[in-house]
Structure 1
Amino acid sequence: MDPNQLKDFLPLFTGFLGGATSAGVFAGPIQTFQDWWYVNYGHDVSNQAALLRAKNEIDVENLRNSTLQEVATIPPENVQEPPLKILGPALEASKYYIEEEELRSMFAKILASSFDNRKNSIIHPSFVEIIKQLDVTDARILQFLKGQNPLAGSPIPIMKAVIRSDSGYKIVFPIIYFINGTEGINELSSSLTNLERLGLLKIEDDKYSTIDSDYDFIRNNFTVQQVLQYHPDISFEKMCFSITPLGMNFLEVCL
């Protein structure tokens, strides 16, 4: 690509910095980003008509701008050439996920993290594949967990609903968990199962938090109260899940 085309990205980037004092430091990495952007999206970013190749022009712009805004927060001394094993797959995959804000934000974060040498010990190529296997509910759970500042391995309360009798027991809801939103028990349960499959969480049926009040947000939930009202034979039993070391790194890099 013609080096003069760096004008497409660098003014935007230095605008996020609030000046051009670090332009020399960032020029090389930003040129790499622009080159790979061209490879994946097949156009010069200044050519608005060519953005029609993407499903949604606004989403493409948002991805680019979000990434550059994130990169602009990196101290100049920590800026590096982004590893192509991260940058290439992330840009390629992002083309198919940019319409959903939660997932687009994750791609912007991992793209920006690839510029930051402080993240080298925790960023992993598998994170791109993990994002590709998330849906919006999965992403919302991870964002919620990030806001809780959890520790790796510390118990996070969940419950299960069972019916016990002399002849055995029946599991009604294997996992019950709630976040702020409209998702139901089955949707959230499926998402936690998927996050465990991806290695970000570990669900433990035989362990639970020793602080009983930690489970009140489940016991007092309207849906749970309704179940208890109409099905008094159902009992709710304590369980937990925890965030794995891989999951902690993913939260740090991608959220």
Structure 2
Amino acid sequence: MGEIISDALMSFGAGFAGAAFSNAQGPGQALDDIMTMVGFEKLHEVAERKRVKREYSVQKYKESLAQGIISIDEGNLQDPPLSIVGPALEASKYYIEEQELREMFSKLITTSMDKSKGMIAHPSFVEIIKQLSPLDANILKSFKNTMTHPVAKIISIRPNGYFELNDYFIVDELFDNQSIIDVTKSIANLDRLGLIKISEGIIENEEYFMEHPNVKTHLEMYKQESPVLKVNRLDVTSYGVGFINSCVRI
């Protein structure tokens, strides 16, 4: 905060600042005037909104942890491994304002406190959550009823093979408000983290891609390339199953 104010003051120049002091009723008033000129009040408003939002997020985090602990049978309640709860609480400070990620940290901690589930929790899951976006988290939630999703990429057929115009994406009513580009980034990230994998396989509802409005719009972008869809299957890995069971509230 001090650096922002100092830089702003420097930009005014000595003559302008001197004039502000000479016209003020006193040093205190002059300081108030200059702070107003450099937008200090706006900075204060931003800081105050940030503080209120953080306090709200911390409260929601506490409530989520409490609800998770209460839901554990008393006979299964155990002290959480320090290797999980320590890094999880430390890391969650920086992601607490993102509801999806906040809930993942909460779920991981409460899972590690449950004797009947604790064995599926793993310290590496903390680092996984830190590398997720809210969209990544929501895609993982979409596996609540299935471990498989159809995925497609947009390609252009060439004489010596095919050229990828767009990487793999998934279509689901949960993501209708998301751009296909953003979804492809999330799929690539989840694949990179070892939570999912792309497999060759028969997909029964392949035609669903062709009829989806977002896909039609995206295909129109590449119409000069005579685009076609290459449909495969997206599967959750065994590591991904453990992560979902430990960290994803469904």
Q: Does 1:226 align with 2:247?
A: no
| 1:240 maps to 2:233 | yes
| Aligned residue in 1 for 2:158 | 165
Indicate the structure (1 or 2) with the bigger Cα radius of gyration.
2
2:181 matched residue in structure 1: 186
Residue 54 of structure 1 and its aligned partner are, at CA, apart by 9.4
Secondary structure of 2:162's partner? strand
Paired residue for 2:83? 85
Following superposition of structure 1 onto structure 2, how do residues 100-249 of structure 1 map, counting pairs within 5 Å?
A: 100-145=98-143, 147-150=144-147, 155-179=148-172, 180-181=174-175, 182-204=177-199, 207-208=200-201, 210-213=202-205, 215-228=206-219, 231=223, 233-249=226-242
Partner residue in 2 for 1:39: none
Deviations 1:140-176 (A, max 9, x none): 101112x2242xxxx4211111111324422111212
The offset of 1:116, in angstroms, is: 0.4
Which whole-Å CA distance do the structure 2 matches of 1:227 and 1:61 have between them? Answer: 41
Match of residue 243 from structure 2? 250
1:241–1:56 Cα change, 3 Å: same
Identity %: 37
Partner-residue secondary structure (3-state), 1:156: strand
Q: Are residues 55 and 93 of structure 1, via their aligned partners in 2, closer, same or farther at CA, if it must alter by over 3 Å? A: farther
1:174, 1:115 → 2: CA distance?
Answer: 39
Match of 1:71 in 2: 69
Partners of 1:102 and 1:63 lie apart in 2 by 11
Q: Name structure 1 gaps, 5 residues minimum.
A: 1-51
State the distance in 1 between where 2:73 and 2:61 align: 21
CA offset at residue 237 of structure 1?
Answer: 1.5
In 2, Cα distance between the equivalents of 1:54 and 1:78?
36
Deviation at 1:53, TM superposition (A): 8.2
Structure 2: stretches of 5+ with no match in the other structure? 1-49
Q: Is the contact made by 1:54 and 1:60 (CA closer than 8 Å) also made in structure 2?
A: no
Give the letter aligned to residue 191 of structure 1.
Answer: S
Check whether the contact 1:177–1:188 (CA below 8 A) recurs between aligned residues. yes
Q: 2: CA distance between counterparts of 1:62 and 1:228?
A: 41
**TM-score, normalised to structure 1's length?**
0.71
SS at match of 2:116: helix
* TM-score, with length taken from structure 2: 0.72
How far does residue 90 in structure 1 lie from its aligned partner after superposition? 0.5
Partner of 1:96: 94
Q: How many equivalent pairs are there?
A: 195
CA 99–241 in structure 1, closer or farther in 2 if over 3 Å, else same: same
Match of 1:62 in 2: 60
Distance 1:245 1:202 in 2: 10
AA in 2 matched with 1:234: P
Alignment partner of 2:142: what SS? helix
